Amino acid sequence: MTKLCAVITDESDIAKAVILGAEAFEFRLDMFSKIPDDISFVKQKGMTIVTCRSKEDVSRKELFEKALNSGADFVDIESDSKLRDSFPSRTICSYHDFEKTPNSSEIISIFDDLSKSGVPKAAFMVRGLADLKNISDASEVLKKSGRRYILLGMGEVGEVTRIRAEKLGSFVSYCSVSKTSAEGQLTLTQAQSLKNAIITGITGYPLSKTFSPAIHNAAFCASDINGRYVKLPASKDELCLLPEIMKAYDISGINVTIPHKQAVMPLLTSFDSSAEKIGAVNTVDKNLRGYNTDHLGIAAALDFAEPENKKVLLIGAGGAARAAAYYFEKSNAELFITNRTYEKAAALAKEFGANAVRIEDLQPEYSIILNASPVCLAKNIFTENCVVMDMVYPDSDFLKSARDAGVKTVLSGKTMLIAQAAESFKIWTKTVPDKNEMEKAFDGAEK
Ligand code: NAP
């Protein structure tokens, strides 16, 4: 059983952690504003660890001795410290790689070395699916040893390793009480509420700008569902690991964003009819069934503009543009598609009974213009009364150009984002999320 360990960075944290029911305590004495002479507080109901990342001198050794004599169960000592073998059977021997996660056999060698000096603890910077796979592969080997170990991923992407610490077999999972001591660390309250939580998330590359975690986590908070939505970035080479990662970390659903909406399809086992027709997937469930909820998001944003029989310009020919082409085809619009790579616009237009147009040939003649590319590809295409939407949010150069040209109705990708997210949430949880809370979270993320 993984112990949720409250990281104490100040004496005032102790009472809070006790009230919250912490199962273990790590006293980060180096983070205290001043280390008090009396450290009898290191004896608590529950396991206690004393850590002090300070200069290697005599006083450090004395502090560890004092901590153990005062009732601490363990001292945490770095693997490169001269003190690592000073307190046999009372040491957590720790290793941190703040840059990367090595491959799983290197992780195992690191653990073999750490085990010589006590309970081994290693934390690695996690940046994507390959790192998560190395951690879960290593955990499978470590579990077989039958010995205690502490294994975790650092950084925002490492969050899933903290939520699934039990599945990884980690003896301890560290949680903050007032001050976070590491990026990706959950608060004690969060960690307690996320035991046995369902996990959903998003893959794509890069994922730095997405508001999806904010709006999905707001939907979880507003519902009775114990869940967390995490970021799982995947480079093109890593995407193939998605099914394995979903299984290893027990992930119930994934959104797929730029640039993987089409590339993800060969990894899936079945599709709903719209994903099949669109030829792109933005939602995957735990059975690896692919769905497309983007077209429903576009409908939520643009139905008011009544595209039927109207001249519509779609900019882009990627996964999101495919959902838009499907929507405009169903709406009986007169659709024109342009794209950086003209050939892709031509191929998409052929599939959806539309017309392809080169960027340099564009004229200000459309009633609705939808940008499904991440950039502003054309500027002199606006008329005052056209409806302009960019899938990008919260604002964009494209929308600024439209406003500068006097366009009255200018929409960002906000409505689409929330509507497609709500549909994904329903697929995964069979529950209708609170869209008002999602909207508030979007507005909060924008600030
Ligand atoms: P995708 O499948 O990778 O397609 C990208 C499209 O953008 C392609 O047409 C590509 O043109 C074009 N493009 C990419 N980089 C470009 C550049 N530097 N200059 C010119 N054109 C470029 O991506 P996607 O999933 O369709 O996403 C497209 C955009 O829509 C993204 O910004 C995404 O965040 C946004 N989106 C928003 C929502 C929402 O809910 N608001 C939903 C889905 C998507 P080529 O064919 O020439 O490569």
> Which pair of tokens denotes residue 59?
């006083």
3-state SS, 137-185, equals: HHHHHHHHHCCCCEEEEECHHHHHHHHCCCCCCCCEEEEECCCCCCCCC
Q: What is the distance in A from the centroid of ligand 1 to the CA of 391?
A: 9
Among 371, 373, 424, which residue has the most ligand 1 atoms within 8 Å of its CB, making it the best to mutate? 373
The span from the CA of 334 to the CA of 389, in Å, is: 17
Residues with C-beta less than 6 Å from any ligand 1 atom: 257-259, 261, 294, 297, 316-321, 339-341, 344, 372-375, 377, 391-393, 413, 416-417, 420
391 has pLDDT over 90: yes
Looking at the chain, how many residues does it have? 447
The confidence score (pLDDT) of residue 55 equals: 81
Per-residue pLDDT, 182 = 77
Q: How far apart are CA 403 and CA 407, in angstroms?
A: 5
Task: Give the pLDDT confidence of 74-125 residue by residue, as tens digits.
Answer: 999 999 999 999 999 999 999 999 999 999 999 999 999 999 999 999 999 9
Q: What are 273-283's pLDDT values in tens digits?
A: 999 999 999 99
CA distance 79 to 94: 5
121, 261, 310, 435: the active-site residue: 261
The answer on pLDDT for 179 being more than 80 is no
Residue 58's pLDDT band, with cuts at 50, 70 and 90, is confident
Q: Measured between alpha carbons, how far is 398 from 376 in angstroms, rounded to an integer?
A: 5
The residue assigned the tokens 């050939």 is 343
Give whole-number Cα distances, 210 to 2, 233, 364, in Å.
Answer: 31, 11, 31
Pocket test for ligand 1, best of 212, 340, 396 (most atoms within 8 A of CB): 340
C-alpha dihedral over 35, 39, 44, 46, to 10 degrees? 60
Helix axes 414-429, 294-302, angle to 10 degrees: 140
Q: Give me the pLDDT at residue 200, please.
A: 98
Q: Residue 282 CA: which ligand 1 atom is closest?
A: 43
> Measuring CA to CA, how many Å separate 304 from each of 252, 298, 299, 332?
34, 11, 9, 14
| Pocket test residue of 239, 256, 258 for ligand 1, highest count of atoms within 8 A of CB | 258
Q: Model pTM?
A: 0.94
* Lookup result for tokens 């992780």: 107
Give Cα 387 distance to the centre of its chain: 33
The pLDDT value recorded for residue 261 is 96
Atom of ligand 1 nearest to the CA of 209: 34
Is the pLDDT at 181 greater than 80? The verdict is no
Q: Which residue has the CA at smallest separation from atom 3 of ligand 1?
A: 259
pLDDT of residue 251: 98
Q: What is the pLDDT of residue 28?
A: 96
d(CA 319, CA 262): 6
Cα–Cα dist 52/238, whole Å: 37
From the CA of 373, how far away is ligand 1's center (Å)?
4
Structure tokens at 104: 């799983």
pLDDT for 446 equals: 82
Closest residue by Cα to atom 2, ligand 1, is 318
Q: In sequence order, which ranges of 315-413 are alpha helices (DSSP H)?
A: 319-330, 342-351, 397-404
309: CA distance to ligand 1 center in Å?
A: 26
317 CA distance to ligand 1 middle (Å)? 8
What's the CA angle centered on 292, arms 289 and 294, to 5 degrees?
155
**Above 80 in pLDDT, residue 180?**
no
295 touches 323 (CB < 8 A) = yes
Rounded CA separation 104/248 (Å): 14
Using the predicted structure, report yes or no on whether residue 33 has a pLDDT greater than 80. yes
Q: Distance (Å, rounded) from C-alpha 325 to C-alpha 195?
A: 42
Give the integer Cα–Cα distance in Å for 291 and 310.
28
Nearest CA to ligand 1 atom 18: 375
Q: Compute the distance between CA of residue 442 and CA of residue 440 in angstroms, rounded to an integer.
A: 5
From the list 399, 335, 394, 407, the residue with the least C-alpha distance to 371 is 399
Which residue's CA is the closest to the ligand 1 atom numbered 38?
391
Q: What is the pLDDT of residue 407?
A: 97
Percent of the chain with pLDDT over 90: 94
Active site residue 100: no
